[in-house]
A and B are shown apart, each in its own frame.
Chain A
């Protein structure tokens, strides 16, 4: 057994042990036991993924594990990449979870119960199985296991908040509808290929008719896109991610959604071997819509975890945009650009996993310390929680596509691949590429505004409520989980050349071409004359800032810094209510994008009873709902409900009637069969 297989086996084994520890150990030891086991599973997965990425594939068939088809596993470099990312996220989340599940000063979190403690390692195991699966049946079993375990984790805190149950319902329905389409697509594929192992499907894909291939791609694409939170199938994501416990949010947002991208790349590029332009234009359009809509919603969100969830929609949209561009370039025959776009997309998966883990874990610390996620109620966290503030600040910088951040690197590569498409492509690329660049640019700009809001309003200035003023720093285990994620982000940000060249083999599975990026401090996309070096920029910036500080110290007056009152227009000391809130910060953007967001505002003016002209009280409520949910899902839900109500008289409780229904249905089927045969 190779290193890859052994490490994967160790990872799965230790997650099972962790689940056992979470079930059997007494309450106090449970957190530590399950956390250690999950962390070990994550570490083993990182080793397995690293081994696969460095060229040690592995496959195995266990015919007796499942009836009919058995379990077929294979780890190639593409699987290895997703295994390694999942493992790294699981390590950070597991360490963090040990402290987080203990609860805050206001008593236990309720997260150290048996079910929750056992489900986290099982969820991680399922996420390791999905990329390792090598047959349609194994893949679908792992996929469903992942959905079920994560569903149980989403509803872990259902006793505390009413919104959890609703989020769980949305998630359950959406994830199973997604499963149905993926199932239909893969089963159709396997039937057409006359075999359900991935090797067999890959071999048979070339001989299939374009109609079958197109149908398989569209079905699997829709299912996988719903898992990746792509607009308009994203509606579960901004509900489920905020309501889940924060370390689970990190696992879902940084590891689980990636597997949607994995599915698209695996089926679209590897099994089907690429396709015509319209597939990839579809992916490109879905990615672009998701990036823009996601970041717009994040920009106006006031709930910190909801903001992060919408930012996941945005980043997955950017990844899908890169995947779509890669497919498009491959379809028009431009292999080096396809490899570059795929590098950008997969690197962005890694980068997003890094900063989203960090951000969700820090948001969890805020919830842990203050009991609220509403940015309008936070503020001033930098003095009671300096470490968390610094770590969230790092995460926000990484997420906002600015230099020194890792998000900037992958978006730079993505834009480079897009702008060099013109000479080789036809009219289609000439029209789509400028628009795609504009989408990336606008989403980058809005992401900056979003994270300035999240960090500036949530952590800086003065506390807006007593809850925020009473905040306290998180325990060491939580800080350790966050710091590990921050270190990974920093390494990815400063040495992206090495990270990207580590992905070479994974990229070659999807988009075979020359190595897109070589392992150097300066990023040089292969065959393109553009260069950029995050490391040199960071050093230059450091030199400039330190030099300026020294110069200023030498030139400025020797007098000590004096504290002074803030400028209050002479109206006396300012209260925290005068501060800008997240809502007011986002108001200009909300106005500019009024047509897309369609915010609902309510203004109630109550006059005093004696006179209609004297105002007694004014209430103002503003809410930015999810317009897609409103327009697309509400009518469907209403129709389903109406059908249910209308069908009620059919089921009046009489057993005779039900037996009669059964009889007539059976007879009807027999008649139909008799006519058809």
Chain B
């Protein structure tokens, strides 16, 4: 009897995981389109519409693939690895269900490391081109990544203290059971720290400008400058997925309401709730970007140091303010 129940539960979890992968894969370009549209409207332009990124991807996929002179297998496979890590993370994290069959395979540390693996693949591809742009982008991206890492791990630490686990399903479920914890100082501090990290990891203003092609300021765009056609489509799509995943993580770690447990009936509601949460966060981010300029490269460490201090305070708060 219990075996049948657990089989049903894991089947529901598998359906949920598949559904969230499809949602992230299909919705990520729409999110990017939405953010561009918000930005365009706030700047007084008409904008190209939500679906423009999908049209761009379709156009790129139909173009011929190009191998720049002097690039090797790393350059060819990096977009696949980048998109592959994004898909695996989309299956692991609690986007719509907390019962993903892969939940036990990768905890929050492993998710952060998988994101880093994708970044590394792209940085190596940038170096593989042998151009100054590629090297510059790779160097800057690695610097930002190295500095982001302490904030991520310490924020995860803060989140795991009340739960006792770093597994995402456990953290989200526990927050659902004790909603008052979201307002605790530890949780708020960790949320702010993780939000800064998410901005840095996805290369948004003020750390990087996703729409720049000015060589002195590029980070992400400099690494992918040599990509064209289907490869570029893969990189753009993967970047959109990473943005969705990070916004979704911030949303569901601190406001998990609407998420489905093991019941498949709740799944459509959960998917819609997730889409709404990410859309709100993305819209807010895009609106914020309108009022901000990109920071100088060497001011970014100060921002990240600030977020690290917040994360450290979050751990301290979770210990000193909760312990009797």
Contact = CB atoms under 8 A, between A and B. Distances in A.
B237 to A, nearest CB: 10
Interface of A is mostly: helix
Interface in B98-133: 102, 104-107, 109-110, 113-114, 116-117, 120, 123-124, 126-133
B150 interface: yes
A449 B145 contact: yes
Contacts of A5: none
A452 B124 contact: yes
Contacts of A453: 142
Contact of B62 (A412, A456, A556): A556
Nearest to A429: B319
Given A441-B150, A448-B120, A452-B123, A545 B84 contact: yes
B109 A578 contact: no
B149 interface: yes
Given A419-B166, A544-B88, A545-B81, A441 B131 contact: no
A576 B70 CA distance: 11
B55 interface: no
A531 B130 contact: no
Interface in A394-424: 400-404, 408, 412, 415-416, 419-420, 422-423
Contacts of A529: 164-165, 167, 170
Contacts of A580: 127, 132, 134-136, 138-139
A430 B318 CA distance: 10
A415 B109 contact: yes
A641 interface: no
Contacts of A382: 72-74
Given A430-B319, A540-B102, A564-B68, A456 B113 contact: no
Contacts of B80: 545, 548-549, 552
B84 A400 contact: no
Interface stretch (B2-10, B152-160, B282-290): B152-160
B83 interface: yes
Interface stretch (A16-24, A57-65, A457-465): A457-465
A491 interface: no
Interface string B66-79: 11111011100100
A442 B138 contact: no
Given A404-B117, A522-B104, A564-B69, A548 B225 contact: no
B131 A403 contact: no
Contacts of B138: 452, 456, 580, 585
Interface of A: 299, 379-380, 382-383, 400-404, 408, 412, 415-416, 419-420, 422-423, 430, 433-435, 437-438, 440-442, 444-446, 448-449, 452-453, 455-457, 460-462, 522, 528-533, 536-537, 540-541, 544-545, 548-549, 552, 555-557, 559-568, 574, 576, 578-580, 584-589, 591-592
Contact of A562 (B64, B83, B114, B301): B64
A444 B149 contact: yes
Contacts of B28: none
Given A412-B110, A557-B230, A588-B140, A536 B102 contact: yes
B152 A461 contact: no
A576 to B, nearest CB: 7
Contact of A552 (B66, B116, B234, B308): B234
Contact of B110 (A460, A532, A589): A532
A575 B84 CA distance: 34
A422 B132 CA distance: 47
Contacts of B157: 419, 433-434, 437
Contact of B127 (A400, A419, A456): A456
Nearest to B137: A580
A565 B161 CA distance: 53
B236 interface: no
Interface in B221-241: 225-226, 228-230, 234
Interface of B is mostly: helix
A557 B231 CA distance: 12
Given A441-B149, A588-B143, A592-B143, A544 B165 contact: no
Contacts of A589: 142-143, 146
B109 A561 contact: no
11 contacts: A401-B113, A403-B110, A420-B164, A457-B135, A460-B128, A545-B84, A548-B80, A548-B87, A566-B129, A588-B139, A592-B147
B275 interface: no
B110 A537 contact: yes
Contacts of A403: 106, 110, 113-114, 117
B189 interface: no
Nearest to B163: A529
A416 B63 contact: no
B145 A576 contact: no
Nearest to B133: A567
B192 interface: no
Interface in B200-232: 225-226, 228-230
Interface string B155-182: 0110011001111001000000000000
Given A437-B154, A528-B165, A566 B131 contact: yes
Nearest to A585: B139
B291 interface: no
B14 interface: no
Contacts of B132: 574, 578-580
Contacts of B315: 422, 433-434
Nearest to B308: A438
Contacts of A452: 120, 123-124, 127, 138, 142
Nearest to B106: A537
B135 A584 contact: yes
A667 B146 CA distance: 65
B312 interface: yes
B66 A564 contact: yes
Contact of A434 (B72, B83, B316): B316
Most buried by B among A440, A530, A555, A585: A530
A438 B230 contact: no
A537 B114 contact: yes
B91 interface: yes
B65 interface: yes
Given A434-B154, A434-B315, A449-B142, A541 B88 contact: yes
A433 B105 CA distance: 25
B63 to A, nearest CB: 6
A556 B232 CA distance: 12
A557 B226 contact: no
Given A445-B146, A532-B105, A460 B124 contact: yes
B69 A565 contact: yes
Given A430-B319, A461-B70, A529-B170, 4 more contacts: A403-B113, A532-B110, A544-B85, A578-B132
Contact of A442 (B69, B150, B160): B150
B40 interface: no
A641 to B, nearest CB: 39
Nearest to A561: B65
B153 A415 contact: yes
A585 B131 CA distance: 12
Nearest to A560: B64
B142 A457 contact: no
Nearest to B304: A592
A430 B320 contact: yes
A541 B81 CA distance: 8
A433 B113 CA distance: 20
B120 A419 contact: no
B12 to A, nearest CB: 19
Given A530-B165, A536-B102, A580-B135, A408 B319 contact: no
B297 interface: yes
Contacts of A545: 77, 80-81, 84
A115 to B, nearest CB: 41
A539 to B, nearest CB: 9
A205 B62 CA distance: 75
Contacts of B135: 457, 461, 579-580, 584-585
